[in-house]
């Protein structure tokens, strides 16, 4: 996972509960308190999972709740950090169609080829007449984050779609399959 995501998670914990809780999360996850995460560097997905799970424990929230709060935080940060992606797309559908490409752009900037490929492999989109079907495969199992971010985009652009998860890694499926359908 790219260090930008860690940075945002630590910022969120600090905003919600204070600096000491960030250190507590790191300790619980077995991460050195002084370890700095560079925004453009790729870090081990196992370590990310320990940090995210420790965050849920320390803030006393479920994974679903943590993903929803993190999505709001991530969305707000993205509108400021990358306004171009938001002005480039005129609808949530357009943005969601572009999302794998946006992510893969990060992979091309990564020096380690294997780490770059791991980012590339996480999302695949199938285009259907009335929407998209997302195939998400990642050891991080953040389908809740995906769906919460998709809802943020719908609010942002003022369009509405039905979101349904038809397969889930957390239920033992080989991928998460998320169907997003816009009314005609
Ligand atoms: C300006 C827009 C966005 C940028 C620049 C961006 C960037 C990133 C980056 C750099 C990562 C870390 C990838 C990795 O290290 O594997 C990430 C993760 C993720 N993003 Fe985005 N993102 C954006 C929008 C979105 C949107 C709109 C969605 C969903 C609708 C989304 C869903 C996710 C998910 C689910 C992950 C976790 C992937 C995993 O590790 O399993 N992102 N994003």
What are the φ and ψ backbone dihedral angles of 81, each rounded to 5 degrees? -75, -35
* Cα–Cα dist 114/69, whole Å: 30
Which pLDDT value is given to residue 8? 98
Query: Does ligand 1 have an atom closer than 6 angstroms to the CB of 4?
Result: yes
Query: Does ligand 1 have an atom closer than 6 angstroms to the CB of 147?
Result: no
Q: At what angle do helices 92-108 and 113-120 cross, to 10 degrees?
A: 170
Question: By alpha-carbon position, which residue is closest to atom 22 of ligand 1?
Answer: 103
- Closest by CA to 104, choosing from 88, 93, 82, 119, is 119
* Cα–Cα dist 132/91, whole Å: 13
Query: Does ligand 1 have an atom closer than 6 angstroms to the CB of 150?
Result: yes
- Closest by CA to 102, choosing from 94, 90, 111, is 94
Which pLDDT value is given to residue 183? 87
Tens-digit pLDDT profile for the chain (184 aa)? 999 999 999 999 999 999 999 999 999 999 999 999 998 889 999 999 999 999 999 999 999 999 999 999 999 999 999 999 999 999 999 999 999 999 888 777 777 778 778 777 899 999 999 999 999 999 999 999 999 999 999 999 999 999 999 999 999 999 999 999 998 7
Query: Does ligand 1 have an atom closer than 6 angstroms to the CB of 149?
Result: yes
- What's the whole-model pTM score? 0.95
Which pLDDT value is given to residue 118? 79
């Amino acid at each position: 996972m790219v260090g930008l995501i860690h940075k945002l998670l630590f910022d969120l914990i600090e905003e919600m509960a204070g600096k000491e809780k960030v250190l507590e999360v790191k300790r619980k996850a077995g991460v050195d308190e002084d370890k700095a995460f560079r925004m453009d560097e790729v870090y081990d997905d196992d370590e990310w999972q320990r940090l995210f799970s420790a965050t849920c424990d320390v803030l006393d929230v479920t994974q679903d709740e943590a993903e929803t709060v993190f999505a709001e935080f991530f969305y707000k940060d993205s509108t400021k950090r990358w306004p171009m992606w938001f002005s480039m797309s005129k609808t949530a559908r357009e943005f969601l169609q572009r999302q794998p490409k946006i992510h893969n752009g990060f992979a091309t900037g990564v020096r380690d080829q294997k780490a770059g490929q791991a980012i590339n492999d996480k999302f695949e989109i199938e285009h259907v007449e009335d929407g998209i079907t997302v195939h998400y495969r990642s050891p991080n199992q953040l389908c809740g984050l995906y769906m919460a971010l998709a809802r943020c985009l719908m609010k942002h652009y003022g369009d509405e779609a039905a979101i349904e998860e038809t397969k889930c890694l957390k239920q033992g499926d080989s991928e998460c399959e998320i169907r997003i359908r816009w009314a005609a």
